[in-house]
Amino acid sequence: MSCDNCKSGFKWNGQTVGKETKLNNTNAYVTGDSKDAAILIITDVFGWTLPNVRLIADHYAQEANATVYVPDLFNGEVVDPDALSDPEKQKNFDIGAFLGRHNKEVRWPEIKGHAQTLKSQYKKVAAIGFCYGGWAAFKLGADPSLIDAISTAHPSMLEKSEIESVKVPVQILSPENDFAYTPELKQATFDILPKTGVQWEYIYFPGLTHGFAVRGNPDDAAQKAGLERAKRSAVNFFKEFLH
């Protein structure tokens, strides 16, 4: 399995409108002013400081009428965003070692704690996981006391058992080419989710690859259309299940 698509892509330009604060004593980017609905973004390996994910959070906050939280999931470790476009920095980023330090067992308690805190403060809470965050979104979705709905774009590290355990509405934003969300996992999704009884939707993005929704090239027409469609789809999902 190659992780090249986990550490490649494009850094977006744009002015963010949120602020840096704390969530459970963890650094977090927060945007929006809803008192009733919150969205927890579970990031890819580039984490909470990547401009792309903050710009996405701003869109969700404004268009889905929610307060959006992007916490630091990696205990202060920040991957240089220049690794997205600099071949030498990309080569030097040992993603295997990074994932070893931040495996599911290490990071799950903190992610669960963030959801618990938000659920205690807001009437409705949704989560979306990009790449690395996909598995965590599904684990949250196994417990309706933690979360009301989950979305994921090109999930990584996802297991069939996590799909089987989901108990809240699910949205999956899936590119045609994805080394992590494999054809076998896609088929498992189609086989399993109808049996769970939850509301679910699978949105397909032909011609696109793993990472497009958060690291796609906005100067490429096909990628720009895909990442904008992914954003609109997530917003519509949040509007349906948060309000």
The DSSP-derived string for the chain is ---GGGS---PPP-----EEEEETTEEEEEE---SSEEEEEE--TT-TT-HHHHHHHHHHHHHTT-EEEEE--STT----GGGGT-HHHHHH--HHHHHHHT-HHHHHHHHHHHHHHHHHH-SEEEEEEETTHHHHHHHHHT-TTT-SEEEEES--S--HHHHHT--S-EEEEEEEE-SSS-HHHHHHHHHHHHHH---EEEEEEEEEETTHHHH--TTSHHHHHHHHHHHHHHHHHHHHHH-
CATH topology of domain 4-242: Rossmann fold (3.40.50)
Of the pLDDT bands very low, low, confident and very high (cuts 50, 70, 90), residue 6 is very low
* pTM of the entire predicted model: 0.94
The HSE-up count of residue 172 (CA atoms within 13 Å, CB side) is: 28
Q: 129: which 2 tokens?
A: 């996981």
* Placement of tokens 């598995």 in the chain: 135
Q: 52: alpha, beta or left, given left = phi > 0 and alpha = psi -120 to 50?
A: alpha
User: pLDDT value at position 34?
Assistant: 99
What are the sequence ranges of the domains in the chain? 4-242
Comparing 87 with 179, the larger pLDDT belongs to: 179
Of the pLDDT bands very low, low, confident and very high (cuts 50, 70, 90), residue 20 is very high
CA distances from residue 110 to 24, 56, 57, 119, 239 in whole angstroms, order as listed: 9, 22, 20, 14, 26
Q: Is the pLDDT of residue 162 over 70?
A: yes
Of the pLDDT bands very low, low, confident and very high (cuts 50, 70, 90), residue 92 is confident
Comparing 100 with 242, the larger pLDDT belongs to: 242
How does pLDDT run across 47-62, given as a tens digit for each residue? 999 999 999 999 999 9
